[in-house]
Structure 1
Amino acid sequence: MTDLILTMFRVNNLTLTWGDRLVAPLGLTSARWQILGAIVAAERAQPVAWLARDLGANRQNVQRIVNDLAKEGLVSFAPNPHHRRAQLVALTDKGRQTFDAAIRLYAPRVEALAEGLALKDIEAARSVMTMLRQKLEGDENAQE
């Protein structure tokens, strides 16, 4: 298990570096791209705390990046009818165009990464990662 965890750390670092290089021409980093992706996946505006939860990330870090994205016109804030202080984060047209451009860069590169890998192996790896995530989230909730 330790070897798997060490490999996951290494792959995570390499993936973030790969993503940073991929989207740098768009003025993005992997972290900014992930947040734009979480906003797109949510299908409706959400507060920063919900985006952070969906990403498994620290709320303060997500808030800092969202603020940077807002300064660049990629996201905007809207009043939250359910919570006066927790504004909703929405993608702007510029944010959607930037995210779509990132996906256009990503698609051929991820296809190249998948080349030579059996679908069943990819599915098995995803299954193991999902189970580990669930166990770790369970540990996290047990400690709160």
Structure 2
Amino acid sequence: MASGWVAVGLDEGQVSDGEAYHCALYHDGDLERPAGWHRDSVGHLLDLALPHITEGALVVDYGSGTGGSAIELLRILDERGTQIELVLVDPLVSWFAKARDLLGHRDDVHFELSISQDESGKTVFRELDEMLAGRKADVIISSST
């Protein structure tokens, strides 16, 4: 089971928003049928990142949205038998909830919501150092952020 952030109290509109974006990435939401534009753009990103990802690496997907890049990365690494720790980071709860729905069954995935409220109630972005608890990422990917 994945660790970290969990969606709570999303309304129907937020759930629909996450589902709609996921269906833009994958025809009818089918993970075996990525849209060509998604497959191609993520493919280029992963071609650059994969040579740097080794067994046990800490990989961050910054701006992970509904998890499209993470899904494709994990598909390749699973085929290779390479185990990593993947931290997904995003501020948009509607899309991030869909990523959690799709990848929440995996022990190697951790979710970090990149926004919080400060003492005055103002929404602020969290530092990556805080989200990684002081650890250093081996590789950071970001597809369209």
Is TM-score (shorter-chain normalized) higher than 0.5? no
Which structure carries more relative contact order (alpha carbon 8 Å, separation 6+)? Answer: 2
Query: Which has the higher Rg, Structure 1 or Structure 2?
Result: 1
Instruction: Give the TM-score normalised by the residue count of structure 2.
Output: 0.28
Structure with greater proportional helix content? 1
Instruction: Give the TM-score normalised by the residue count of structure 1.
Output: 0.29
